[in-house]
Structure 1
C-alpha cells in the first residue's frame, strides 16, 4: 500500500518506515513534490495533525497521514505541549535550546512526571470521492531527567525516561523506543486500521 506521510523529517520517516514495515510504501512530502511549509497553527496536537493531513489531501489529492507530538510536563501545566518543537523563543526544531529551556523551567523540582502524546490524522478518499479523517493517539508516561543522557533519537529523547525504565529514550536506542514510544503506539493503531 502506498501512502503519504506528511513530513520531510528524516528521523520521523525512518522511524515510521521501520514500525510499519514492508507492507507499506511510505512517501515523504518531497516524494510528491510538496516543498512548501505546511501551516501548523492549531492549538492542540490533534488540530495540527488534522491541518497537515487535510492540506495534502486538498492540495495534492493523495491518501495521507500526518502526526503531531507534544511533550507534556504535568507540573508545568502541560508545557511545552503543542509548542514542543518551538518551545524556546525564536527557534524552530532546535532541540538543544528546547531542552535547555525545559530544564531551566523545572529547576530543582522533584515533580518531573510527564507524558509524550502523538496524534495521527489519516485522510483517505472514500467511495463518495470525499476525504474522510480518522485519528489515532499514542501516549507514553515517564519523567524528565535532571540532565541529558544518551545520543540516539531526536527532540527531547535525551531527557525523557519512560515508565518502567531507568534510561532515557536516547539511551534505550531505536529498537526499544520503536516498540514502546508514543509514536509507536499511535502507528500500531494506524497500521491495524490500514491492514484491517
Structure 2
C-alpha cells in the first residue's frame, strides 16, 4: 500500500516512515488553507482539500501544544505562537504559576475515495521551568512527558518518538490501514 503524506516537514515524514513501516509513504507538499478551528477540523479540511487535487490516498497531520493554566493556549495556534514569542514567552506567561500541566495532541486526517478518517494521539506532561535540551523542534525543550524527568528536547528524537503524540496517532492509523490491505 502507498499513501501520500502532505507536509513540508521532513521530520514528520521520517517519524511516519518508522511507524508505518509496512506502508510506503510518498512525501509531497501541497499548500492548503489552514482553517481556524480545532485540530480535528483543520485535519479533516486539509485531507479533503488535498484529496480533491491529488485523487490518491493521503494523510495530513496537525498538532498543538496545550497548557492547562493558560486555558489550552497556544493550542491550535502553536506554530504562530512559537514563531512569535517562542519557548521564552511561554515560560514568561507561566512565571509564578504552580499548575504547569500541559499536553501535546496530534490529529491525522486520512482521505481516500471513501472519505476522511481521523486518528488522534495525546501525550500528557508538564512545562519545565527552563529551556532544556535541543532547541530545534518547537516546544520540545520545555515539555516534560509524564513518567520522565527530561524534556522532549533532552530525550532526543529516538526516545521521544517512542512516547510522542504523533506516534500514538500514527499507530492508530497503521492499525486502520493494515485492515484495508
TM-score range with shorter-chain normalisation? Answer: over 0.9
Structure 1 stretches of 5 or more lacking a match?
89-93, 127-131
**Which aligned pairs between 1:154-165 and structure 2 lie closer than 5 A?**
154-165=137-148
| Pick aligned residue for 2:93 from 86, 98, 105 | 105
**Which aligned pairs between 1:28-43 and structure 2 lie closer than 5 A?**
28-30=27-29, 34=30, 37-43=31-37
Q: Report the Cα distance in structure 2 between the residues aligned to 1:81 and 1:99, rounded to whole angstroms.
A: 14
* Cα shift at 1:98: 2.3
Equivalent pairs counted in the alignment come to 179
TM, length-normalised to structure 2? 0.93
Aligned twin of 1:75: 69
Relative distance call for 1:179 and 1:152 in structure 2 (3 A) is farther
Matched, 1:190 2:173: yes
Structure 2 stretches of 5 or more lacking a match?
none
TM, length-normalised to structure 1? 0.86
> Structure 1: which 4+ aligned runs deviate by more than 4 Å?
none
Q: Report the Cα distance in structure 2 between the residues aligned to 1:186 and 1:64, rounded to whole angstroms.
A: 15
Q: Report the Cα distance in structure 2 between the residues aligned to 1:3 and 1:138, rounded to whole angstroms.
A: 20
Give the superposed CA RMSD.
1.6
Q: Deviations over 1:76-97 (max 9, x none)?
A: 0000000001115xxxxx3x84
Aligned 8 A contact 2:58 2:111 in 1 = yes
